[in-house]
Amino acid sequence: MFARLPIAALVLLGVATAAVGQAQPASKSMVTAATPTPDDRARQWLVLVDDKNYAQSWSDASKTFQERQKTEAWVAEAQAKRAPLGAVASRDLKTIDLSHGNSAVVSYDSVFAHKAAAVETVTLAFENGSWAVTAYTID
């Protein structure tokens, strides 16, 4: 009886080792627990916009965002959108829509110094192993 225990343990160890050896490495475009969520990534990007660091927000956006408009055009558009609103007072997550394949649409109920109620929408695409902003609107 006691002789079977070490043999059973060795068999189980062999099965576990074989299973580990066959595990597939994570793909570079795969969402993992270490990947910031769309909400986290959108908030990181919005901090750049809040701080009027528009050129950096353009650099941190997706290739699609960058191809749609040059840095100077984005800086002018962002200034025109945000300057009249004043500083952001609060930003609360409203919705996250993940139903569009490899993209996410994140909406926030936001309050600004000169606008009590606004909805900010940040659209992101999952590319090169992380979420990247593809569009930003504010209503």
Q: Three-class SS string for 14-64?
A: HHHHHHHHCCCCCCCCCCCCCCCCHHHHHHHHHHHHHCCCHHHHHHHCCHH
Q: Which amino acid is at 99?
A: S
Q: Look at residue 29 in the predicted model and tell me its pLDDT.
A: 47
Q: Look at residue 127 in the predicted model and tell me its pLDDT.
A: 87
Does domain 35-138 fall into CATH 1.10.150.120?
no
Query: What whole-number percentage of the chain has pLDDT above 70?
Result: 75
CA max distance for the chain:
81
Measured at the CA of 61, the angle between CA 106 and CA 77, to 5 degrees, comes to 85
Where are the domains positioned within the chain?
35-138
CA distance 12 to 16: 6
Regions of the chain where pLDDT drops below 50 = 1-29, 33-34
Q: Look at residue 31 in the predicted model and tell me its pLDDT.
A: 52
CA distance 121 to 106: 6
Q: Look at residue 39 in the predicted model and tell me its pLDDT.
A: 96
Q: Look at residue 100 in the predicted model and tell me its pLDDT.
A: 82
